[in-house]
Structure 1
Amino acid sequence: MSVDVVQLAQDLAPYATTAITAYGTAVLARVESDAADATVSFGQRILRRLTGRDTPGTETTAEQEALAGTVCDLADAPDDADLAAVLRVQVRRLLTAHPGIAADIAGWARPAAPTTVTITTSGERSPAVQNNYGTISTGDSTI
């Protein structure tokens, strides 16, 4: 099975970044829980596989250690676009150097792609919600 590692790295980076943003430096050690968001859980799984932390007792490569270092750096500065770019490049290099890992991850089912939602509100006591399936009360005229 031939894997386009450039495209795969591009596809995986948002999941990894979402997991790093959610859990910070603990992302590599944190255990998945039933309550974890699917995107974050998938990002954690990717990062554990890429850094070799999915199989305890095995020796990690230089590429895996470099990626783990970038994960820690990005956890400290999650809005740093340069570090996010470094992460993508390191993922691509690692997948190129380890085609077995690339083929393994390429076969995994993916949750919906992570998205960023921006909600803006204006005015005194204006509520800001992404989804609302009920009544929103601001405390005025609730009779």
Structure 2
Amino acid sequence: MKTSTTQNVFRIILGLLMIVAGIGHLTFQREEFQAQVPRWLPTSEGFMDFVVVASGLVEILLGLAMVLLVKYKVKVGIVLAIFYVLIFPGNISQYTNGIDAFGLDTDLKRFVRLFFQPVLILWALWSTGALKHLMNKQK
């Protein structure tokens, strides 16, 4: 799938942001990311830390794939979009449980954050050409 220079730039930016977020999971933002582990999962510190580390590794791998696997960018974009859908319950949990993290220290801020997940999903699909690919499949 051919993508424009603008799409390629945004794909690389998103990939780099994913790598930085993944590194944050493993290091300087580890506790912050624990706030997004859904509270319907086991809340033991060890399990929550495992979820944060595992999702951080996945984010790093997806970020690297966004930047490097140009030949597979449509597939990578779809996988990243699915990943964003899968982690969305963590954002919902942070909102519904009123958990402060990442400067989201009010219900309004946590609620507004929920609307950014669809933006990330569309960004992943658009920047990789996956959105056009999926729309053409529908025809």
TM-score bucket of the superposed structures, by smaller chain:
0.3 to 0.5
Bigger relative contact order, structure 1 or 2, given CA contacts below 8 A and separation 6+?
A: 2
TM-score (normalised: structure 2): 0.37
Query: If each structure's helix is expressed as a fraction of its own residues, which one has the higher value?
Result: 2
TM-score (normalised: structure 1): 0.36
